[in-house]
Amino acid sequence: MAIAFTEIPEALLVPGQYQEIDNSLAGTVSDVKRALMVGTMSASGTATAGKAVQVRNADKAKILFGNGSPAAIMAAEFLKHNTTEELWVLPIAEPDAGTKWNRSFVISASNAAAGNVAITINGKEVKAAVAAGALASDVASAITAAINGTENSPVEAEVVTDSENNTVSVKLSSVVKGVTGNYNTIAITANASGVSINAQNAVPGTLSPEIEDSLVALGSARYHYITSEFADPANIKAMADELNDRYTALRQIDGRCFIALSGELGDASTANTMLYSAQTINCPHIALVPRGVSVQHPCVWAAAWCAKLSRRLADDPAANTTDIEISDLIAEELDDRQALLENGICTYRIDTSGNLLIERAVTSYTENSDGARDTSYLDIQVVETVSAIRTYINQLARKRFKTWKLARTEENFGAGSKVMTPGVWRSFLAEVYQSHFIQEVQWCQDFDSYKDSIIVEVKAGSKTRLEYRHRPILIGQFYVGAGLNQFQ
């Protein structure tokens, strides 16, 4: 048997004992799972906009992206639920010509009694103390201090005195420019007699950043799980285009993105509803999270879903994700979960303690290129498993068959020879399918049908290209049990 050495020369004459070290048959193949948060940074952040940076803790995120910015909030939310996956953040600069969301609250005080003011910011409550006899300016200052002292608050406050009209107000503004601040839900309530607070109409922020160039600039780095703050059509299309391109055979660095949809359930013809927003997305790599009308910011919802689902799917891309709990989301029961699923939107249910439980995680892909209903990528596990199968085969083949030669005929090249043939590759696929994809990780099923589907050949006229077709039969999810109890 001829043994192929790579380090010990055939013509070596110097006496001695020599052994090469070859690790090609040892260890396992895997890749580091990275998560990427795509969100707006504030002007106070120290990071470079458009350049992804790794984040290990929430405090560092506040410095990098600005306290209270969506990028910092998303990082903190992800790390609250998942510290296993490698977290990166792609900070996006505010839109230059954009404006900030703001809302003013007029403060009045007369013979104020001791008490407090309750301030609710996107579902989180803080309180400001009110001393007996406090003036309106004192109450306004206390409210401002409480808001500005809140960790990672998406709004900042200032006292505004109008001497002409003899009024004192607290003006709240979004930390960043753009439409993202329009999702802020603020309530200020006086719990002290003699103090009244009158909320003024909110002034919406304008414009959304464009993320297309920043996504392209990510280059060849792979991010398996992505959260995007931006749910406007232009930015969703940019994300879908980038993810579709990353899924292609020449790149193979795909990932799944979570984006929160807001508004009532609605229908496909009513603007600003979830079903209307979902109808044009149709991407197997985008999972739509049904935030609805929750008081929490959409980026919080998307980051939480990404964190919890990525932890489950990173270990097993075919895992059933039913009843994954996300305890910190404020949610209402969904009205028509069938309609959501049919339109490519994930669903959840609420348990008896009020916790959100993920029910079914689906992709936004619902139609083929002809406009016909297509369920091939319905569940997120499908695209996750297909990608994992491709990645595993590629990594194992590079490890096992590196430096091999290629022959189109099934000669007896001798035991131990490093010659690839169609028969060797067919045996390799069959071995991996049965031993790993079925027995070890349970990603696939029906070995006999798979084995019959394999076609392998060396391309005609080539001595370097092996071509093959195989049809993995994915395992499914036990979501529905339908029985007929026909008693007599």
Do 316 and 257 lie in one domain? The reply is yes
Which stretches within 34-163 are classed as H helix?
A: 58-65, 70-81, 136-148
Longest dimension (CA), the chain: 104
> Does 156 reside within a domain?
yes
Do 156 and 216 lie in one domain? The reply is no
Mean pLDDT along residues 339-358:
97
Q: Is 38 helix (H, G, I), strand (E, B) or coil?
A: strand
Do 309 and 415 lie in one domain? The reply is no
**The pLDDT of residue 22 is above 80:** no
Structure-token pair, residue 423: 């028969």
Do 356 and 411 lie in one domain? The reply is no
**The pLDDT of residue 329 is above 70:** yes
> Does 292 reside within a domain?
yes
> Does 154 reside within a domain?
yes
What are the CA-CA distances from residue 452 to residues 434, 440, 471 (Å)? Answer: 13, 21, 9
On whether the CB atoms of residues 78 and 226 are closer than 8 A, the answer is no
Q: Residue 29 — pLDDT band, cuts 50, 70, 90?
A: low
Q: pLDDT tens digits for 391-429?
A: 999 999 999 999 999 999 999 998 888 999 999 999 999
> Does 478 reside within a domain?
no
* Domain final residue pick, 199, 229, 264: 199
In percent, how much of the chain has pLDDT > 90? 91
Do 153 and 219 lie in one domain? The reply is no
What are the CA-CA distances from residue 112 to residues 118, 133, 138 (Å)? Answer: 15, 5, 11
Mean pLDDT along residues 61-68:
98
**The pLDDT of residue 1 is above 70:** no
Structure-token pair, residue 307: 């964190």
What mean pLDDT, rounded, does the chain reach?
96
Where does 245-395 show beta strands of DSSP type E? Answer: 256-262, 286-292, 324-326, 347-350, 356-360
In percent, how much of the chain has pLDDT > 70? 99
Q: pLDDT tens digits for 359-379?
A: 999 999 999 999 999 999 999
Mean pLDDT along residues 217-227:
97
Structure-token pair, residue 74: 């998303």
Length of the chain: 488
Do 213 and 195 lie in one domain? The reply is no
Residue 436's pLDDT is 98
CA angle 375, 345, 58 (to 5 degrees): 125
Do 255 and 315 lie in one domain? The reply is yes
Range(s) of the domain holding residue 136: 102-199
Q: Residue 467 — pLDDT band, cuts 50, 70, 90?
A: very high
Do 339 and 408 lie in one domain? The reply is no
* Domain final residue pick, 382, 415, 441: 382
What span, in angstroms and rounded, lies between the C-alpha atoms of 288 and 353? 25
What are the CA-CA distances from residue 423 to residues 182, 332, 420, 463, 465 (Å)? Answer: 61, 57, 8, 16, 15
Do 221 and 369 lie in one domain? The reply is yes
What are the CA-CA distances from residue 311 to residues 78, 353, 383, 385 (Å)? Answer: 11, 23, 16, 15
Do 260 and 365 lie in one domain? The reply is yes
**The pLDDT of residue 127 is above 80:** yes
**The pLDDT of residue 65 is above 90:** yes
Please, which residues have CB within 8 angstroms of residue 50's CB and are 6 or more apart in sequence? 90, 91, 92, 93, 213, 214, 217
Q: Residue 2 — pLDDT band, cuts 50, 70, 90?
A: low
> Does 394 reside within a domain?
no
> Does 87 reside within a domain?
no
Report how many domains make up the chain: 3
